[in-house]
Structures are given as structure tokens and as C-alpha cells.
């Protein structure tokens, strides 16, 4: 894979090295720095490729960004299989580069059972057709140093439309909220693992910016990075169709900022939830 990769699915593709060992390459984000969402997506792909019962679909993941990944070298994904029970399979994945673990993930897969159902209703928001498209220069101008700007993938592959992008997140009814529409611009395989991995990729695009936005005036003074990332998958996903990503930021304290997000499809079904904690601390003088 190179920066000229023209298909999104290639960004999830791994090479099998040995049993439970896989290799992948990440596209460039910031100079020599891999995009964290892609590392998480590839780690989930690696975990799922070791689950033999394909009726078991990923229902959750918990990942920790430990070191920056580099884009010029391959990343090795080492998968451990701590449990295959009657209903659940658990996997632990280490992403290793140059002998160091850069990312650690626990992923759980489960059969789909029948049980009670409820969900938050989809927020009232304008349709994606009513949100202006944003060019790459416009995104960069919003926040030149954010994870979104540094890691934004080829715009030909992803269509991201931030509602009221010209405004920072404001306090409304005691909550800081951000709404975005997002989709992948080409059809992907209907395979649930590929779809869940693609959504994992998308989920890391704007979370740091959401947590930062109430304090944007401090932007130049802060060191920013994703610390950990958790997702839960609730329903079948089609990432080539518009998804509403409704985000809020309940708290920032102690040099960390928390952002939460809910993914809804156009029919109003809540398909996934995500929580991310970001490093948001004053730059240290060395």
C-alpha cells in the first residue's frame, strides 16, 4: 500500500505472515506518523481473521495508542486467543513496529442473540445534502495541527461533512455537541468484519477536535494525541451510505479530554457507539 492507493479496502488489507501473525502498512498522516484510525482498523481485521466461526461478529473493541506509528515501515499484528467460548471469542492484538508495541487492542466477538431492544433516537439535524462539502484546504484551515487535519485521508475516498463547521462546539443545554455526516465513497464488501473495521477507521477522524473545540483558543498551547479508543457495534453497518456521527464532550480535566459519539444510519438506527480519551495538556518545556 502506498499513498496512491485508490481503493479504501486496500487500507484494511493485511498479509498473513504465519498463524495469528499479520503485516500491514499505513498511509501517511503527519510526516512519518501513521493515522491511528487505520492502525485500529487493521488490528480489528487481524483479530477477526483468527475467529473461525464467522457467525460471531465483533461487538466491542478497546484500544490503547502507546507510540506513534511510522508510515515508511510495515506494522506487524500479533494476535493472542485467550478465549473461544460457546457464545464469545476474545482476542488480544499487539501492533508492533521496530520491536516496540505501538498499539494494543482487546476485541470481542459474539453470536447474535434475541433480547429486549431500545436506543436513543437520532438527533434532529440537517441532511447531508444540506451540509456544504468541505475541501481539503478548508479542513486544514479549521485546525492546522489537529489529528483531523494531520491524518485526513484522501478526500476521494471519504466524504466528511461537519454540520456548522464554521463554528466551534458551543455549550447547549449543558452539553457540548458536534454533528457530522460521513461515508466512504466506494462500495465495500458486505463482510461484517470489513464494515466494522471501516467504521473503526472513520471513528477516529474528529474525536480529538470535538474534545478540543470548547477550548480552541488554547489550541496553540496544547499537546494533542489520542490515548485510548473504545467501540461497541450494535447493528449491521454499510459505510458506503451516509452515517450521522453525533458527538459530545462531557469533560476535560487533568490534561485529558473525553469525547463520545453515536453512529446512526439514515433510517435512524443506532449502529455503533464510540468513546475516546485524548491527551490535551499544556506543551511541556524541555
**Per the domain annotation, does 2 fall within a domain?**
no
Say which DSSP state 28 is in.
B
For 72, phi then psi, to 5°, come to: -90, -10
Express each pLDDT in 45-87 by its tens digit: 999 999 999 899 999 999 999 998 888 889 999 999 999 999 9
**Per the domain annotation, does 164 fall within a domain?**
yes
d(CA 260, CA 253): 15
Instruction: Look up residue 170 and give its three cell numbers.
Output: 458551543
Say which DSSP state 274 is in.
E
SS3 category, 143: coil
Q: Please give the residue that has the higher pLDDT: either 145 or 79.
A: 79
Q: How many CB atoms lie within 10 A of CB 47?
A: 29
**Per the domain annotation, does 122 fall within a domain?**
no
Average pLDDT over residues 81-104: 96
**Per the domain annotation, does 98 fall within a domain?**
yes
Assess contact for 252 and 218: CB atoms under 8 A: no
Residue 33 is predicted with a pLDDT of 74
Percent of the chain residues topping a pLDDT of 70: 87
**Per the domain annotation, does 119 fall within a domain?**
no
**Per the domain annotation, does 121 fall within a domain?**
no
On the question of pLDDT at 97 being above 60, the answer is: yes
d(CA 95, CA 64): 10
pLDDT grade for 145, boundaries at 50, 70 and 90: very low
**Per the domain annotation, does 18 fall within a domain?**
yes
Q: Number of folded domains in the chain?
A: 1
Domain of 172, CATH number, reads 2.40.160.210
Residue 71 is predicted with a pLDDT of 82
Assess contact for 44 and 105: CB atoms under 8 A: yes
Average pLDDT over residues 83-93: 96
Average pLDDT over residues 113-130: 95
Average pLDDT over residues 9-16: 94
**Per the domain annotation, does 68 fall within a domain?**
yes
d(CA 81, CA 16): 16
Look up the pTM and report it: 0.90
d(CA 152, CA 217): 22
Residue range(s) defining the domain that contains residue 26 = 8-113+127-282
List active site positions: 204, 226, 276
Assess contact for 96 and 102: CB atoms under 8 A: yes
Average pLDDT over residues 118-128: 95
Express each pLDDT in 187-244 by its tens digit: 999 999 999 999 999 999 889 888 888 887 787 788 888 899 999 999 999 999 999 9
pLDDT grade for 171, boundaries at 50, 70 and 90: confident
pLDDT grade for 32, boundaries at 50, 70 and 90: low
Amino acid at each position: 500500500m502506498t499513498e496512491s492507493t485508490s481503493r479504501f479496502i486496500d487500507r484494511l488489507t493485511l498479509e498473513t505472515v504465519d498463524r495469528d501473525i499479520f503485516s500491514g502498512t499505513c498511509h501517511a498522516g503527519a510526516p512519518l506518523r501513521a493515522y491511528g484510525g487505520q492502525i485500529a482498523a487493521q488490528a480489528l481485521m487481524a483479530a477477526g481473521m483468527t475467529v473461525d466461526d464467522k457467525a460471531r461478529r465483533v461487538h466491542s473493541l478497546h484500544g490503547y495508542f502507546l507510540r506513534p506509528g511510522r508510515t515508511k515501515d510495515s506494522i506487524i499484528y500479533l494476535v493472542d486467543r485467550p478465549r473461544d467460548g460457546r457464545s464469545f471469542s476474545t482476542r488480544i492484538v499487539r501492533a508492533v513496529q521496530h520491536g516496540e508495541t505501538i498499539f494494543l487492542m482487546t476485541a470481542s466477538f459474539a453470536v447474535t442473540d434475541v433480547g429486549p431492544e431500545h436506543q436513543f433516537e437520532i438527533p434532529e439535524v440537517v441532511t447531508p445534502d444540506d451540509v456544504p462539502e468541505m475541501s481539503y484546504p478548508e479542513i486544514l484551515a479549521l485546525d492546522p495541527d489537529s489529528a483531523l487535519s494531520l491524518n485526513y485521508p484522501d478526500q476521494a475516498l471519504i466524504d466528511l461533512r461537519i454540520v456548522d463547521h464554521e463554528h466551534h462546539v458551543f455549550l447547549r443545554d449543558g452539553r457540548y455537541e458536534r454533528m457530522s455526516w460521513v461515508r466512504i465513497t466506494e462500495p465495500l464488501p458486505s463482510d461484517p468484519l470489513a464494515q466494522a473495521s471501516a467504521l473503526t477507521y472513520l471513528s477516529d477522524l474528529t474525536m480529538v477536535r470535538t474534545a478540543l473545540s470548547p477550548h480552541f483558543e488554547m489550541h496553540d498551547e496544547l499537546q494533542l494525541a489520542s490515548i485510548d479508543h473504545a467501540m461497541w457495534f450494535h447493528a449491521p453497518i454499510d459505510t458506503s451510505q451516509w452515517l450521522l456521527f453525533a458527538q459530545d464532550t462531557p469533560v476535560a480535566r487533568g490534561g485529558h479530554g473525553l469525547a463520545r459519539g453515536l453512529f446512526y444510519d439514515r433510517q435512524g438506527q443506532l449502529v455503533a457507539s464510540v468513546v475516546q480519551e485524548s491527551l490535551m495538556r499544556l506543551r511541556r518545556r524541555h
